[in-house]
Amino acid sequence: MTQSSTPPNGSLNLRPAMPADIPQILRFIRDLATYEREPDAVHATEADLLRDGFGEPKRFDCLIAELNESGATIPAGFALYFYNYSTWLGHAGIYLEDLYVSPEHRGKGIGKALLTRVAAIAVAEGCPRFEWSVLDWNAPSIDFYHQLGAVMKSEWKGMQVSGDALKALASSGK
């Protein structure tokens, strides 16, 4: 009796990204920016992602979701995260920077599978918190996250300084 090593048609596989996935990750990042109404916001290159995802210091981790369809492996989505820090809890947490599923593969539970897998990594590593951000107009995602047990940190607002304003601030102390 032999056992086939071919996964069932339509089955989902989640795995850590490898350097060979970088062109696909960059395509996902660009598709996500377009979905977030910022199609020209992506300046990252494949070299940037290789350096920061697979070099030292390693700045992020990434999971790839792929579907097995008729013997082929189809990339369907990704989750990219890094470690933040809570001084209240005295422990690193996981911050999910990007979660994306290709439009043609939505409704198959892939987003939930990715989010659940990152939550499991957080628990396995003793991280007491798992966080991410959502656009306030993205009601379907907000509902989805609430259903998964997440709460919105409504009181907190993000502040950001970048570009020339960052350089000006940096040099104002000299």
Among all residues, which ones are annotated catalytic?
A: 145
Residue 74 binds a second copy (CB under 8 A): no
Report phi then psi at 148, rounded to 5.
Answer: -85, 5
Tell me if 57 contacts a second copy by CB under 8 A. yes
98 binds a second copy (CB under 8 A): yes
Give me the torsion for CA of 39, 27, 64, 162, rounded to 10°: -50
Query: Interacting stretch for a second copy, rule CB under 8 A, among 3-11, 69-77, 129-137?
Result: 129-137
Smallest gap from residue 3 Cβ to a second copy (A): 23
108 binds a second copy (CB under 8 A): no
Of 105, 35, 99, the C-alpha closest to 76 is: 105
CB 118 within 8 A of CB 85: no
Which residues 6+ apart lie within 8 Å of 106 measured at CB? Answer: none
- In angstroms, what is the minimal distance from the CB of 68 to a second copy? 18
CB of 101 to a second copy, least distance (A): 15
Per CB under 8 A, does 107 bind a second copy?
Answer: no
* Binding span for a second copy by CB under 8 A among 3-11, 69-77, 140-148: 140-148
Q: Which is nearer to a second copy, 9 or 116 (CB)?
A: 116
> Site residues for a second copy, window 14-33 (CB under 8 A)?
29, 32-33
148-167: contacts with a second copy (CB under 8 A): 148-163, 165-167
Nearest to 121 by CA among 57, 31, 53, 60: 60
Residue 54 within binding range of a second copy, rule CB under 8 A: no
Among residues 49, 67, 76, 101, the one that binds a second copy under rule CB under 8 A:
49
In this structure, what are the phi and psi dihedrals at residue 122, rounded to the nearest 5 degrees?
-60, -50
Full DSSP string of 35-91: HTT-TT-----HHHHHHHHHSSS---EEEEEEEEETTEEEEEEEEEEEEEEETTTTE
Angle, vertex CA 46, rays to CA 41 and CA 48, nearest 5:
75
Residue 2 Cβ, how far from a second copy at the closest point, in Å?
A: 29
